[in-house]
A and B are shown apart, each in its own frame.
Chain A
Amino acid sequence: MYPRAFHYHRAGSLREAASMLSEFGDAKLLAGGQSLIPLMKLRYANPSHLVDLNFIEGTSYIKEESGVLRFGALTRHAEIEASTVAGKIPIIHDCAAGIADVQVRNRGTIGGSLAEADPSGDWATVLITLQTEVRCQKSQGDRRVQLTDFIKDAYTTALAQDELVSEVVVKVPPKGSAGAYLAFKRSAPVYPTASAAVQLTMDGETCKDAAIALGCVGLTAIKAKDAEAALRGQRVTEKTIAAAVEAARAVADPQSDMRGSVDYKRMLAGSLVKRAIDIADRRARGEQVEAGHIYA
């Protein structure tokens, strides 16, 4: 399958890429290409110009400094999976290590995933449970946008037409905080049917703070605020978990499709929240527990 013909441009810097976007108008950026190229082959995306970011030096890195992790926009999922620095936030490793398959993780990027804003993408669901800022670059100047303000709708972000993602900045959670990400999918290469990200900050037996997000069950990742409230300031018990799960199910807004019915997805999202709370709680107590993508 061939995409429609397009002009190819190789940007020498992110700044130049941003100015190419305003110069060409009908242009798309090529990062990992693992969503864009299939969309172009199916001719859902038909840009006249393609601006390749892959030859720009210094866009792939993971740095820890003053309480934050900085990810270059073109950092591949596989690099995050293999990174001990990124591994300090277990929920980030859960996500990076399970996106699609080895081949896709070798190409796909964190910046591309957020900019694509696919409702079934993994990164947004995980990163809204942490304090995440997206650095957006124009040909002149840049700005920082909170991830919660960055994702506007399905496939829609706060990026202006001549703007791109240059960096993703994640605040390192405090001591006593741990999370888990669980995504259920039918096989490795497909998008999950539903996913849940949970980050708990424990103060002894009490859950001081909770962040809970659902993926693939709405037009964007959904912050389950009532579920968070059900745990915040409480002990993590069967009763409070049940209340959080109930609230998470209520806020899920899935669509029926080949991956499952509305009711099925809502049940699944709740079950994933339940398991993720348990794993996050155990991890916060120092236990090593595996989590990530689940498939047959």
Chain B
Amino acid sequence: MPDVIEKVAIKLTVNGKAHSLEVEPRMLLVELIREALDLTGTHVGCDTTYCGACTVLMNGAAVKSCTVFAVQADGAELITVEGLERDGQLHPIQKAFGDAHGLQCGYCTPGLMLATAQLLSQNKQPSEKEIRKAIAGNTCRCTGYQNILKAIQMAAQSIKGA
């Protein structure tokens, strides 16, 4: 193992706010988000690229932030669950998850909402099959997914109508 590990200077934008930091190369993106930036809405679930609780948007693409090194986000634009609301108003996706009871314990919910955000940015009117495929990388152990599907359909309607 190397004796002295050089830290790496990175710049990134998180929820519209620019940050400059020095990070250890082995720091995971999710740790940067939670520990360095104190944005604890992004959760660590399995920590093995399975459950999707740590999903964030990196340059518009949903990624599992437990499986990306923080140094790789140099120059990137990130959106975490904290970045969904606008001017104190919940994002239509957030509102729909509440209205449709698309959550119970809420642990998987931030990840699911960001997976939904990528889906709806590419497909305004997804079919049920397309929704199921889009959230296949997000595990929920409470709901049985039915109300999550309803929430995403509701969010799609609401964004389309806006």
A residues lining the B interface (CB < 8 Å)? 1-8, 30, 33-34, 37-38, 40-41, 46, 48, 50, 52, 54-55, 78, 100-104, 106-107, 187-190, 295
Contacts and interface: CB of A to CB of B under 8 A. Distances in A.
B72 interface: yes
A4 B5 contact: no
B25 A6 contact: yes
Contacts of B64: 103-104, 107
B63 A1 contact: no
B77 interface: no
B72 A52 contact: yes
A50 B1 CA distance: 12
Contact of A107 (B2, B6, B8, B67): B67
A37 B118 contact: no
Interface string B29-63: 00000000000000000011111100100000111
A103 B50 contact: no
Residue with the highest number of chain A CB atoms closer than 10 Å, among B47, B62, B67, B68 = B67
Interface string B4-40: 0110100000000000000011111000000000000
Given A5-B1, A7-B25, A52 B67 contact: no
Contacts of A2: 26-28
Contacts of B8: 8
Contacts of A46: 1
B126 interface: no
A37 B67 CA distance: 6
20 contacts: A1-B47, A3-B26, A4-B26, A5-B2, A6-B2, A7-B2, A8-B71, A34-B67, A37-B49, A37-B69, A46-B1, A52-B72, A55-B74, A100-B137, A101-B138, A102-B62, A102-B133, A102-B134, A187-B139, A189-B51
Interface residues of B, number: 36
B47 A41 contact: yes
B108 interface: no
B67 A106 contact: no
Nearest to A295: B136
Given A1-B47, A103-B55, A33 B26 contact: no
A189 B8 CA distance: 31
Contact of A38 (B2, B48, B136): B48
B79 interface: no
A195 B1 CA distance: 39
Contact of B25 (A33, A50, A102, A188): A50
A8 B67 CA distance: 16
Contacts of A100: 49, 137
A36 to B, nearest CB: 9
Contacts of A78: 61
